[in-house]
Structure 1
Amino acid sequence: MKILKVSIIIVLFLVSAASLIMYSFYRYNNKETRTLTDADRKKISGSFIKLSQGITHYELGGPENGQPIVLVHGFSVPYYIWDPTYDFLVKQGYRVLRYDMYGRGYSDRPKVAYTQDFYNSQLLELLQQLKLQGKVTLAGISFGGAVVTNFSCAHPDLVNKVILIDPAYDMKKPAAPQYFTLYNEAVNSDERVKGQMDDFRYPKQHPNWAKLYKPQMRYEGFRNALISTLYNYNNNGRASNACLNSTNKPVLLIWGKFDKTVPPRFSDSIRSVLKTDFFQVDDAAHLPMIEKADTVNAKILSFLKA
Structure 2
Amino acid sequence: MIWSLLVVMAVGLLGVSAYVMLDLWLKPLDEAARAKAPGAFISARAGLLHYTWDGPADGPVVVMVHGFSTPHFIFEQNVAALTDQGYRVLRFDHFGRGWSDRPIARYDADFYDEALLNLLDGLSLTGPVGLVGLSMGGPIVAEFAARHPQRVNRVLLFVPAGLDVAGLTGFAARLLNVPGLGDLMWRAIGRSVLLNDPQYNERGEPPENRLAGNVSTQMEYRGYLDALLATMRNMPMSNRAETYRRLAQTGIPVAAIFGKDDPTVLPASVDKLAAYIPEAQIHLLENADHGLNYKRHRAANPLLAAFFDPHS
Q: Same fold (TM over 0.5)?
A: yes
Return the alpha-carbon distance in structure 2 between the equivalents of residues 242 and 100 of structure 1.
Answer: 27
In structure 2, the partner of 1:303 is: 307
Of 241, 247, 251 in structure 1, the residue corresponding to residue 250 of structure 2 is 247
Change (3 A) 1:13 1:180: closer
1:215 to 202, 214, 217: 217
- The structure that has the greater radius of gyration is 1
Paired position in structure 2 for 1:274? 277
Q: Within 5 Å, give how 1:13-52 maps onto structure 2.
A: 14-15=7-8, 18-19=11-12, 22=15, 26=19, 30=23, 33-52=26-45
> Residues 88-118 of structure 1, C-alpha deviation per residue, up to 9 Å, x if partnerless?
4223321100000111111111112112111
1:66·1:93 contact (CA, 8 Å) conserved in 2?
Answer: yes
Identical counterparts, % of pairs: 33
> Is the contact between residue 256 and residue 281 of structure 1 (CA under 8 Å) also seen in structure 2?
yes
Against the structure 1 CA distance between its residues 112 and 25, is the aligned structure 2 distance closer, same or farther, given a 3 Å change threshold?
closer
Counterpart for residue 139 of structure 1: 132
Determine the structure 2 residue equivalent to 1:238: 241
**203-212 or 149-158: bigger deviation:** 203-212
Structure with more helix by fraction: 1
Range with greater deviation from structure 2 (63-72 or 229-238)? 229-238
C-alpha distance in structure 2 between counterparts of 1:289 and 1:94, whole Å? 18
Q: Any conservation in 2 of the 1:256–1:282 contact (CA below 8 Å)?
A: yes
Partner SS for 2:294: helix
Q: Which residue of 2 aligns with 1:110?
A: 103
Task: Answer whether contact 2:67 2:136 (CA < 8 A) is retained.
Answer: yes
What pairs up with 1:40-79 in 2 under 5 angstroms? Answer: 40-79=33-72
- Contact kept? 2:81, 2:302, Cα under 8 Å: no
More off after superposition, 114-123 vs 138-147: 114-123
Does residue 1:293 correspond to 2:294, yes or no? no
The Cα RMSD (Å) is 2.6
Task: Give the TM-score taking structure 2 as reference length.
Answer: 0.86
Work out which of the residue numbers 155, 175, 185 in structure 2 matches 1:162. Answer: 155
Where structure 1 has 5 or more consecutive residues not aligned to the other structure, the ranges are none
Cα deviations by residue, 1:124-178 (Å, 9 ceiling, x for unpaired): 1111221237411100110001101100101000101100011111589954323
> Equivalents in 1 of 2:260, 2:195: separation in Å?
22
For residues 11 and 59 of structure 2, the distance between their equivalents in structure 1, rounded to whole angstroms, comes to 60
2:59 is paired with a residue whose SS is: coil
**Matched residue of 2:157: which SS?**
strand
Give the Cα separation in 2 of the matches to 1:211 and 1:90: 20
Q: CA deviation at 1:64?
A: 2.0
User: What is the match of residue 199 of structure 1?
Assistant: 199
Distance across 2 between alignment mates of 1:186 and 1:210: 26
Q: Is the 2:74–2:211 contact (alpha carbons within 8 Å) kept by the matching residues of 1?
A: no
Aligned residues of 1:31 and 1:218 also touching (Cα < 8 A): no
Shift of 1:183: 1.5
Contact 2:211 / 2:294 at 8 angstroms: preserved in 1?
no
Q: State whether residues 65 and 141 of structure 2, in contact with CA within 8 Å, keep that contact through their aligned partners in structure 1.
A: yes
User: Is the contact between residue 73 and residue 144 of structure 1 (CA under 8 Å) also seen in structure 2?
Assistant: yes
- Kindly report which structure 2 residues correspond to 1:83-102, keeping only aligned pairs within 5 A, or say none: 83-102=76-95
CA 278–81 in structure 1, closer or farther in 2 if over 3 Å, else same: same
In structure 2, relative to structure 1, the CA distance for the partners of 1:286 and 1:230 (3 Å cut) is: same
In 2 relative to 1, CA 267–252 (structure 1 residues): closer, same or farther, beyond 3 Å?
Answer: same
- For the 8 Å contact 1:146–1:169, the answer to whether it is kept is yes
